[in-house]
Structure 1
Amino acid sequence: MRNIPETMKALVAYGKGDYRLELNYPTPECGPDDIIIKTEGCGVCAGDLKCYHGAAMFWGDEVQPSWVEPPFIPGHEFLGHIVELGENVKDFKIGQRITADQIVPCGECKFCKSGRYWMCQPHATFGFQKGNNGGMAEYVRYPKTAVISEVPEDMELKKALLIEPYGCSKHAVDRAQITNDDVVVIAGAGTLGLGMITYARMKNPTKLIVLDMLDNRLEKAKEFGADLVMNPGKEDVVAKVLELTDGYGCDIYIEATGHPASVQQGLNMVRKLGRFVEFSVFGQPATIDWSIIGDRKELDVLGSHLSPYCYPFVIRNICNGNLKTEGVVSKTFPIEEWEKAFEYATGKYGDFKVAITF
């Protein structure tokens, strides 16, 4: 006899814009290698919003196939306590507080076998496919291959909800290979950008510059460690960065806005032989002159995906205060108010991170 209910509250995605709150959705079954958690909370990511609104990278179009597999339960920034363990699970115990990487690696492809599990070829993830439902539900199943990290019991929920986004932020900054000789520009000071700023500050670059169109975000960026903040809507930020660097440009540009204009801005701003890190999920294609990358500047252009091997560092440094979190998770909503949570998660009311709690 199971000691958890047979049904639960869950937000279920059936199609583009067709998300429904189900009050009696079946609770996930616990297989012999599985773990079931009772969800504490789940952040609402920009990717969740773009998926809800039908972005082609999720639902496909004439040039790419659909990636999502409805019906699915969205949400990948979640954590909770173990309430059920499969008979083969030996390393965890009932009541333990845990979270997991967004990726659910297969363990069999060449990427998994070489330790590069975050680029797993099948690329199953929590919150976008029906086989790995996400955290916008009262209970979630972690399968055998989930990459699980323990969360300290005394870690405040609003801080713990930042483990997944800050893990992604850390990986992006690590890709940038920042040294203390570098002038670094981070474009975008939302939740992910703030995670990058507070971590990049630990790298002690010569100058850390942050760009955003919203002044309240720029204020938070300064609080989190930016040396200089600029609003591209109010000043010529490319000219300003060139002026600050004797006409050369910044050494590193990290793109975290998700807006195509930021890509061109970065290519214009970064110096010859500089490094451009692309992090964002775009709702539409970005068109640029590729000759800037090759013939004109010989740039290193790097992508950043997910948060491999980042959770233990992030958990430890959020807990000890090295990574700033104050005010990032600004509002929480019960699952019954998911539509309001999605609305506030757009940032239109000045919020950084919004979460659904249980």
Structure 2
Amino acid sequence: MSIIPKTMKALVAYGKGDYRFETNYPTPQCGADDIIIKTEGCGVCASDLKCQQGAAMYWGGDNQPAWVEPPFIPGHEFLGRIVEVGENVRDFHVGERVIADQIVPCGQCKFCKTGRYWMCQPHAIFGFQKGNNGGMAEYVRFPKACVISKVPEDIPLSAALLIEPYGCSKHAVDRAQIRNDDIVVISGAGTLGLGMITYARMQNPKKLIVLDMIDVRLEKAKEFGADIVWNPSKVNVVEEIMKLTDGYGCDIYIEATGHPSSVIQGLNMIRKLGRFVEFSVFAEPTTVDWSIIGDRKELDILGSHLSPYCYPFVIENIRNGNLKTNGLVSKTFSIEDWETAFEYASGKYGDFKVAITFG
């Protein structure tokens, strides 16, 4: 059995904007049903940034209760190698490379008991509560309830870091129920949008159209399978969709920007009886004319949350190349340089996905 140090390097969140790098944070202890992994890498998600910046949906405010439980170690896009297993663990062994769904289901609520574990009522997610510390640390504890998948050794870290975001992307596209006669619009070509694009391409829609305000992202979208790409700052995208569809509008619109204008844009360009999938986490409320949804178009409005039952497919298809990953993890940083990692993860320098890696 590996010798695990009593303390470790970790980024610890104590409050809004109060994130501290610590060199002697207690290493998690392995209970009888637990697994301890040594972290290989952890992606920096937009939700990590919004939490660090103090968004109300995490810390409370704007009529929302606090959800986070400090002190906690952030990070939910992580994987690592098992260094210790509890005496009751049978299916996993020291040395195996593993990843867990970001939610730790309770197994007792009505959602868990009916197989809908991703909507677990207590909703414990890695990287936001002190009981489920995340991957921005050298070691992480996987409790018994985790949904764990094995990661093949031949998947490079730069691709393996995309398993969690691509799982979320797959779930969003599955919610859209794409058929081969659909004209599909994906708004947003960041990492998650690109995961949607490469997976949606596998569904063979009639046209796959991608919108983004940054041209380099649109170039990557074409590489990943988009038929048409438009920059809304340069093209009237609603008019273009109407021209393309004889005035009807697109069949499916997937919103992956997190900006209120993208929601309004989608409602304007989608056809009657169309399907609108909302994926993003928003930093501010969005105001729309709900009569578009009901009286004028009778739309199907669907949400998308997390990545239930998606990891095995994503792992297999990243491995065989059906899901494109090239060039998405553009920069990696040590945990000591977490502030720089967060800055680059904002996208202000043109990066897709930024990660913290451990030697």
Q: TM-score range by the shorter chain?
A: over 0.9
Q: Residue 24 of structure 2 aligns to a residue in which SS? A: strand
Alignment of 1:73-84 (within 5 A): 73-84=73-84
Q: Tell me which amino acid in the other structure corresponds to 1:146.
A: C
Give runs of aligned pairs for residues 35-74 of structure 1, distance below 5 A.
35-74=35-74
1:227 aligns with 2:227: yes
The separation in 1 between residues aligned to 2:333 and 2:317, in whole angstroms, is 27
Partner of 2:342: 342
CA-based RMSD of the aligned residues comes to 0.8
Residue 202 of structure 2: aligned partner: 202
Amino acid in the other structure paired with 1:313: F
Instruction: Report the equivalent of 1:179.
Output: 179
Query: What is the DSSP-based 3-state SS (H/G/I as helix, E as strand, rest coil) of the residue aligned with 2:302?
Result: strand
Match of 1:283, as an amino acid?
A
Distance 2:66 2:287 in 1: 22
| Counterparts of residues 237-276 of structure 1 (less than 5 Å) | 237-276=237-276
Runs of 5+ consecutive residues of structure 1 not aligned to the other structure = none
Q: Distance in 2 between matches of 1:352 and 1:345?
A: 8
Query: Conserved in 1, the CA contact under 8 Å of 2:104 and 2:146?
Result: yes
Residue in structure 2 matched with residue 290 of structure 1 by the alignment:
290
Partners in 2 of 1:59 and 1:295 — Cα distance? 37
Deviations 1:193-251 (A, max 9, x none): 00000000000000000000000000000000000000011111011111110000000
Tell me if the contact between 2:56 and 2:62 (Cα under 8 Å) persists in the aligned partners: no
Cα deviation, 1:309-356, whole Å, max 9, x if unaligned, reads 000000000000000000000000000000000000011111000000
**Structure 1 residues 266-292: Cα deviation after superposition (integer angstroms, max 9, x where no partner):** 000100000000000001111111110
Please state if 1:109 is matched with 2:95. no
Contact 2:59/2:67 (8 A) holds in 1: yes
Q: Which residue of 1 aligns with 2:15?
A: 15
Q: For residue 96 of structure 2, what is the amino acid of its counterpart? A: Q
Separation (CA, whole Å) in 2 of partners of 1:127 and 1:332: 19
Contact kept? 2:198, 2:224, Cα under 8 Å: yes
Q: Secondary structure at the match of 1:295?
A: helix
TM-score normalised according to structure 1 size: 0.99
Q: Residue 190 of structure 1 aligns with which residue?
A: 190
Aligned length: 358
| Cα displacement (A) at 1:19 | 0.4
User: C-alpha offsets along residues 173-205 of structure 1, whole Å, 9 cap, x if unaligned?
Assistant: 000000000000000000000000000000000
Partner of 1:155: 155
What amino acid does structure 1 have at the position aligned with 2:339?
A: E
TM-score (normalizing by structure 2): 0.99
Q: What is the one-letter code of the residue matched to 1:183?
A: I
* 1:2 Cα deviation after fit: 7.4
1:137-195 deviation digits (Å, cap 9, x = unpaired): 00000000000000001110000000000000000000000000000000000000000
Can you list the C-alpha shifts for 1:100-125, whole angstroms capped at 9, x where unaligned? 00000000001001000000000000
What residue in structure 1 maps to residue 318 of structure 2?
318
- State the alpha-carbon separation in 1 of the partners of residues 47 and 272 from structure 2: 32
Separation in structure 2 between the aligned mates of residue 114 and residue 344 of structure 1, nearest angstrom: 40
AA paired with 2:150?
Answer: E
Counterpart amino acid of residue 276 in structure 2? F
**What secondary structure does 1:198 align onto?**
helix
Q: Does 1:331 align with 2:331?
A: yes
CA distance in 2 between partners of 1:4 and 1:154 (Å):
26
Provide the C-alpha distance between the structure 1 equivalents of 2:274 and 2:323, rounded to a whole number of angstroms.
27
Deviation at 1:3, TM superposition (A): 1.6
Please, which runs of 5 or more residues in structure 2 have no aligned partner?
none
Q: Superposition pairs for residues 204-219 of structure 1, below 5 Å?
A: 204-219=204-219
Deviations 1:6-53, CA, capped at 9 Å, x for gaps: 000000001111100010000001111000000000000000001111
Amino acid at match of 2:158: K
Contact 2:2 2:83 in 1 (8 A): no
Q: Which residue of 2 aligns with 1:134?
A: 134
Is the contact between residue 39 and residue 135 of structure 2 (CA under 8 Å) also seen in structure 1?
yes
1:62 Cα deviation (Å)?
3.7
Q: Verify: 1:96 aligned to 2:91, yes or no.
A: no
Give SS of 2:314's match: helix
Structure 2: which amino acid aligns with 1:334?
S
Q: Which segment drifts farther, 170-179 or 233-242?
A: 233-242
Aligned counterparts, 1:163-174, within 5 A: 163-174=163-174
Output the CA distance in 1 between the equivalents of 2:81 and 2:2: 16
